[in-house]
Amino acid sequence: MVRILETGIASCLVSVGAVWLLMLLKHVHGKYTYDDLDGRPQKFHSHAVPRIGGLAIFLGFFCSLGFGLWHAGIVGAIFLFICSLPIFVGGMLEDITKLIGPLTRLTLSFITTGLGVYLLGSRAIRLNVPVLDEILEVYPAVSLFLTFLAVSGVINAINIVDGYNGLCGMVSVMIFSALAYVSHNVADNFLLTLCLAAIGSTLGYLAWNYPKGLIFAGDGGAYFLGFLIAQISVLLVARNPDVSPLFPLLVVAYPVWEMIFSMYRRLFLKKTAMDSPDAMHLHHLIYRRLVRWKIGSTAPEDLIQRNSLTSPYLWVLALIAIVPAVVFWRDDLALACCIAIFVIIYTWLYRRIARFGSPGWLILRSKDGIRHSFPDKNGTQRSFNRLQ
């Protein structure tokens, strides 16, 4: 167990050091790696920032091999490294060149999933539903389809919630913590080691990302975190019969439902392509309509502070799914009920905020007495201060 804990510590230290080195050399790589303000609707930071923090997460995770993964299963770790390369490299190329399209990235996620099935045996083999489990056993193609759908979906879902300082990173840490808890309960030391290495490397990156936003994970980091979450989830269920297949689904309920809801919103409400960028994700609405902190100020420190105040809302939302998942990780019925409850809470919250009916207790107003303007549901600019 001590060796496993050392893995997490080592991955954190390597990640912190890697980000420090990247920041030290940003004058060299900045012209390629800066996430500049190009006017896209989903951009909400105040200045150009390097978007290759995923490299630090990747290095921190795999450089911890000598501390714990070697003993827990070096072959599996090497296979995991090979499986992660297509989606990680593709994401990094997009961060640097901005030329890797959505279809190419989706194809790379399929390649990564296929390698995981072939090398790691990470395949969905049961749903704890008798008829469906028989279908998965008799028709391997159905099992493969479900695996590709689940892994690729989680990879893209984590990327979607990579919107504000500390959002994607902390949600990933909470998800890995839940997976680590259950891995420990079923004595799966290999997966426990993977989880602690992922937690350590992500925390090392977060030390620079939150709250100041000095570096971003980028597509490379978000895709890599999504890949790890998906692979560990599938392997946890496949290797341990006591774990309900609904456990990992509830754990990732926030990013996955964000992705599904966004697809529905774009296709049926906005009548646009599913991959068209917009600023209507839940985290965008929270930033604009709940975090009324120094609204109107263009000072970089105020913009950064308002950005960092957005993520805790989503951390709490994610915990609404993660905490009961940890409690009921073996109970199919309880997990199914919790999934339904989470979907209802998310949809209710989104609807209230989108229709300018946000609950007053959720609104965070400026500490000072300065009055700021904010549009009401009719589009009229109204002033308020923190006492209103």
In whole angstroms, what is the distance from residue 61 CA to residue 216 CA? 17
Residue 180 has pLDDT above 90, yes or no: yes
Of 18-27, 214-223, 279-288, 297-306, the one with minimum mean pLDDT is: 297-306
In whole angstroms, what is the distance from residue 233 CA to residue 215 CA? 28
pLDDT (average), residues 248-269: 95
Q: What is the pTM of this model?
A: 0.91
Asked if 14 contacts 60 with a C-beta cutoff of 8 angstroms, the reply is yes
Question: Which pLDDT belongs to residue 276?
Answer: 80
Instruction: For the beta carbon of residue 269, count every other beta carbon within 10 angstroms.
Output: 9
Question: Which pLDDT belongs to residue 46?
Answer: 55
Of 163-167, 217-221, 275-279, 282-286, the one with minimum mean pLDDT is: 275-279
Complete DSSP assignment for 210-251: TTT--S--HHHHHHHHHHHHHHHHHHHHHH-TTS-THHHHHH
Q: How far apart are the first and last CA of the chain?
A: 53
Grade residue 388 by pLDDT with cuts at 50, 70 and 90.
Answer: very low
**pLDDT tens sequence across 340-356:** 999 999 999 999 999 99
- Identify residue 200 by its one-letter amino acid code: G
Asked if 100 contacts 90 with a C-beta cutoff of 8 angstroms, the reply is yes
Mean pLDDT, the chain, as a whole number?
89
Question: Which pLDDT belongs to residue 73?
Answer: 66
The residue among 221 and 365 whose pLDDT is bigger is: 221
Complete DSSP assignment for 310-365: HHHHHHHHHHHHHHHHHHTTT-HHHHHHHHHHHHHHHHHHHHHHHTT---GGG-EE
Report the sign of the C-alpha dihedral through residues 255, 257, 263, 268, in that order: negative
Complete DSSP assignment for 284-319: HHIIIIIEESSTT---HHHHHHHHHHHHHHHHHHHH
Residue 76 has pLDDT above 50, yes or no: yes
Question: Which pLDDT belongs to residue 387?
Answer: 29
- Identify residue 350 by its one-letter amino acid code: Y
Question: Which pLDDT belongs to residue 174?
Answer: 98
Grade residue 386 by pLDDT with cuts at 50, 70 and 90.
Answer: very low
Residue 30 has pLDDT above 50, yes or no: yes
Residues 204, 190, 110: CA angle, nearest 5 degrees: 75
14's CB contacts (< 8 A; 6+ apart) are 56, 59, 60, 63, 64, 201, 204
Q: DSSP secondary-structure letter at 262?
A: H
Residue 374 has pLDDT above 70, yes or no: no
**pLDDT tens sequence across 128-147:** 988 999 999 999 999 999 99
Asked if 179 contacts 248 with a C-beta cutoff of 8 angstroms, the reply is yes
When mean pLDDT is compared over 43-47, 75-79, 282-286, the highest value belongs to 282-286
pLDDT (average), residues 231-248: 97
Residue 384 has pLDDT above 50, yes or no: no
Closest CA to 95 of 215, 211, 201, 255: 215
pLDDT (average), residues 10-28: 95
DSSP run (H or E) holding 21: helix 2-24
pLDDT more than 70, % of the chain: 88
